[in-house]
């Protein structure tokens, strides 16, 4: 009888989980409608075709030719995303749109996971706002720090896997601490690390925090389960790398994933530099922008409330709708005036009021301290602990400000909405309206930008994308035509712009795809590169002009002069397009 009752209980528990996922949820429906709208506006639109995205689409294409990651193709990221994307290309064909679809699928999974996590910590309407906020600022859009065409698909896969791991922590608590959920979380952590290293570390830290914060298990049980998570996660990362090492060698894998020797060069870039002073500056600037925008919105809400209250005799529902519309109108007008007339250069900061929450990082640290000392006062203590620790560990890379915002801020935004939900218990409706106005303003500006500005197509038989600059689009199309007409199959594109390889179904003979100063940092590295190029010379060289001001250089020749001289000595210039792209052929 006891076994029968236990079986029945497990069956009912599984059925309840399924029902919770399948139950009609109006707010989730609204979130998905918003997702579809933003996705439609974002389709095929890129902020820039030169930086990063070319590497992300070209590596999977080269893997399909039989090349091996780390041996034949250089990257600093884990292999998971590249091989999964290569599998998708092999199934659906060599098309740029395959990457768009992959990005949207990952975005949709992340959207649902975020909604479920936020709903667990707050309620459905609050979770909807939180999820839409993350959609606007993290998941969807045209920038390289969003999920669809990112600077690194590895970061996108890792983010989704980390959200899965944290969701498993929730089910671990809900299932009375069943070990199977920890096993699932550990697998997700390991795969996240196999995609992008720091995400896996942060996810493991979050899961371990959840184990040791939640439940009433004995200390020995918690230690055993923590070790189990570490073991499974490590195996999930180690076994695929061991298989890959048979092709690429452990030395190549280690120097690629942990480029310690190049750390000094990497830190020359302003993007990667960290210091306490820089962190404090980012915290202050982001807080100042948030407070400035909030003052404008709150004043608009007060003015609208006074105006409607003094002038309207209509029903309560009509008054609320009218008051909200007036609030939104006043707030939008105020932000436009503030940004374009008063602040001028700070438009991005105030137009997107929830678009930079770096200032919230100290609050996360304080919240975690309170959670550890007064855990009995919190519900969902394991889930909260996982989110707090994950957010801190992940952003410790930037010394606790949020760099590359869209790919590092997801859990921070969930925590921000959760804290507001509990702090505003007596005024939740007012705060909810304030947040909705913030999101509508941000969404309006973003939608307007996507609709108005991305009008210039770059097309080939292998895909299409849209840019904001007519000259860049024209030059890219001209370059594609020249490469196709030449019949070349080996085309070296540098310093960046490998999307041209993908759109012409050509491949670079170089192991390096992105020629930042860190790629060939010494004269000896340049000579080694040229030795490989002389052994396997490209038929064409496409030089894409770009500045490297974040590194302190104006042109590529400033930091790789030997390679630049080799190009002009051994190849002849055949085409030059608006000083943006030069094409060289063998002499």
DSSP class per residue in 392-435: HHHHGGGTSS-SSHHHH-HHHHHHHHHHHHHHTGGGHHHHHHHH
Domain ranges of the chain: 2-42+75-259+357-423, 457-586
Q: What's the confidence (pLDDT) of residue 45?
A: 95
Task: Give the pairing of strands 491-494 and 540-544.
Answer: parallel
Residue 463 CA to residue 94 CA, distance in Å, equals 9
How does residue 432 score in pLDDT terms, banded at 50, 70 and 90? very high
pLDDT, one tens digit per residue, over 539-562 is 999 999 988 988 989 999 999 999
How far, CA to CA in Å, does 344 sit from each of 288, 332, 354?
15, 15, 19
Percent of the chain with pLDDT over 90: 77
Q: What's the confidence (pLDDT) of residue 263?
A: 79
CB atoms within 10 A of CB 295: 12
pLDDT, one tens digit per residue, over 528-540 is 999 999 999 999 9
**Of the candidates 54, 77, 100, the residue with the CA atom closest to the CA atom of residue 158:** 77
Q: What's the confidence (pLDDT) of residue 1?
A: 47
pLDDT, one tens digit per residue, over 355-378 is 899 999 999 999 999 988 887 777
Range among 79-93, 209-223, 309-323 with highest mean pLDDT value: 79-93
**Contact criterion met (CB below 8 Å) for 440 and 328:** yes
pLDDT, one tens digit per residue, over 147-172 is 999 999 999 999 999 999 999 999 99
- Locate 324 and state its tokens: 């909200």
Instruction: Work out the mean pLDDT of the chain and round it to a whole number.
Output: 91
**Of the candidates 401, 455, 336, 412, the residue with the CA atom closest to the CA atom of residue 138:** 412
Burial of 30 (0-12, 13-18, 19+ CB in 10 A): middle
Is pLDDT above 80 for 567?
Answer: yes
Q: Would you tell me the crossing angle of helices 197-213 and 219-248 to the nearest 10 degrees?
A: 170
Q: Would you tell me the crossing angle of helices 96-121 and 53-63 to the nearest 10 degrees?
A: 110
Is pLDDT above 80 for 17?
Answer: no
For the residues 203-212, what does the mean pLDDT come to? 96
Q: What is the DSSP letter of 340?
A: I
Q: What's the confidence (pLDDT) of residue 51?
A: 84
DSSP string, 235-272: HHHHHHHHHHHHHH-HHHHHHHH--GGGHHHHTTSTTT
Is pLDDT above 60 for 513?
Answer: yes
Is pLDDT above 70 for 342?
Answer: no
Q: What are phi and psi of 24, to 5 degrees?
A: -60, 125
User: Greater confidence, 265 or 241?
Assistant: 241
Q: What's the confidence (pLDDT) of residue 444?
A: 92
User: Greater confidence, 24 or 204?
Assistant: 204
Is pLDDT above 50 for 128?
Answer: yes
Q: What's the confidence (pLDDT) of residue 23?
A: 58
**Contact criterion met (CB below 8 Å) for 411 and 166:** yes
**Of the candidates 320, 290, 353, the residue with the CA atom closest to the CA atom of residue 433:** 320
Which residues contact residue 557 at a Cβ distance below 8 angstroms, ignoring those fewer than 6 apart? 564
Q: What are phi and psi of 357, to 5 degrees?
A: -110, 30
Q: What's the confidence (pLDDT) of residue 34?
A: 95
Q: What's the confidence (pLDDT) of residue 343?
A: 58
Percent of the chain with pLDDT over 70: 93
pLDDT, one tens digit per residue, over 461-485 is 999 999 999 999 999 999 999 999 9
Q: What is the dihedral of CA 446, 449, 451, 453, to 10 degrees?
A: -160
Q: Would you tell me the crossing angle of helices 153-174 and 410-423 to the nearest 10 degrees?
A: 40
Q: What's the confidence (pLDDT) of residue 523?
A: 95
Residue 514 CA to residue 312 CA, distance in Å, equals 62
CB atoms within 10 A of CB 301: 21
Q: What are phi and psi of 12, to 5 degrees?
A: -65, -35
Residue 458 CA to residue 487 CA, distance in Å, equals 20
């Amino acid at each position: 009888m006891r076994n029968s009752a236990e079986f029945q209980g497990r069956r009912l528990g599984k059925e309840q989980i399924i029902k919770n996922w399948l139950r009609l949820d109006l707010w989730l429906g609204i979130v998905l409608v918003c997702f579809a709208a933003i996705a439609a506006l974002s389709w095929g639109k890129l902020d820039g075709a030169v930086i990063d995205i070319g590497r992300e689409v070209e590596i999977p294409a080269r893997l399909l030719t039989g090349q091996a990651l780390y041996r034949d193709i250089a990257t600093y990221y884990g292999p998971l995303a590249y091989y999964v994307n290569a599998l998708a290309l092999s199934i659906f064909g060599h098309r740029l749109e395959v990457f768009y679809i992959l990005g949207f699928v990952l975005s949709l999974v992340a959207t649902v996971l975020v909604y479920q996590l936020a709903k667990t910590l707050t309620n459905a309407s609050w979770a909807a706002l939180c999820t839409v906020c993350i959609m606007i600022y993290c998941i969807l859009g045209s920038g390289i720090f969003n999920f669809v065409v990112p600077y690194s698909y590895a970061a996108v896969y890792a983010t989704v896997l980390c959200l899965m791991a944290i969701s498993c922590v929730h089910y671990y608590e809900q299932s009375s601490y069943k070990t199977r959920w920890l096993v699932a979380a550990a697998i997700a952590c390991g795969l996240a690390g196999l995609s992008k290293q720091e995400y896996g570390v942060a996810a493991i830290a979050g899961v371990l925090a959840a184990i040791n914060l939640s439940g009433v298990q004995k200390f020995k049980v918690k230690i055993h389960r923590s070790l189990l998570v570490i073991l499974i996660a490590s195996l999930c990362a180690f076994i695929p790398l061991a298989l890959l090492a048979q092709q690429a060698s452990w030395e190549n894998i280690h120097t690629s994933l942990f480029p310690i020797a190049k750390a000094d060069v990497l830190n020359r870039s302003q993007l990667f530099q960290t210091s306490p002073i820089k962190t404090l500056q980012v915290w202050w600037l982001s807080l100042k922008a948030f407070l400035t925008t909030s003052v404008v919105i709150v004043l608009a809400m007060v003015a609208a409330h006074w105006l409607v209250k003094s002038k309207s005799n209509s029903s309560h529902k009509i008054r609320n709708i009218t008051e909200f519309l007036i609030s939104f109108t006043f707030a939008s007008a105020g932000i436009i005036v503030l940004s374009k007339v008063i602040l001028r250069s700070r438009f991005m900061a105030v137009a997107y009021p929830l678009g930079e929450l770096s200032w919230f990082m100290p609050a996360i640290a304080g919240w975690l301290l309170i959670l550890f000392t007064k855990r009995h006062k919190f519900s969902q203590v394991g889930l909260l602990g996982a989110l707090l620790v994950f957010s801190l560990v992940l952003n410790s890379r930037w010394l606790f400000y949020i760099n590359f915002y869209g790919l590092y801020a997801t859990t921070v935004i969930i925590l921000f909405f959760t804290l507001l939900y509990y702090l505003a218990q007596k005024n939740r409706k007012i705060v909810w309206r304030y947040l909705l106005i913030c999101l509508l303003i941000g969404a309006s500006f973003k939608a307007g930008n996507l609709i108005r500005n991305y009008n210039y197509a770059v097309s080939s038989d292998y895909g299409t994308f849209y840019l904001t600059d007519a000259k860049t689009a024209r030059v890219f199309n001209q370059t594609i035509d020249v490469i196709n007409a030449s019949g070349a199959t080996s085309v070296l594109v540098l310093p960046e712009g490998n999307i041209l390889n993908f759109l012409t179904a050509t491949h670079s003979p170089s192991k390096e795809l992105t020629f930042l100063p860190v790629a060939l940092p010494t004269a000896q590295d340049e000579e080694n590169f040229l030795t490989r190029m002389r052994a396997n010379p490209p038929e064409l060289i496409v030089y894409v002009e770009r500045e490297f001001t974040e590194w302190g250089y104006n042109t590529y020749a400033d930091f790789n002069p030997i390679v630049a001289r080799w190009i002009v000595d051994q190849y002849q210039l055949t085409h030059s397009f608006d000083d943006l792209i030069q094409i060289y052929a063998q002499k």
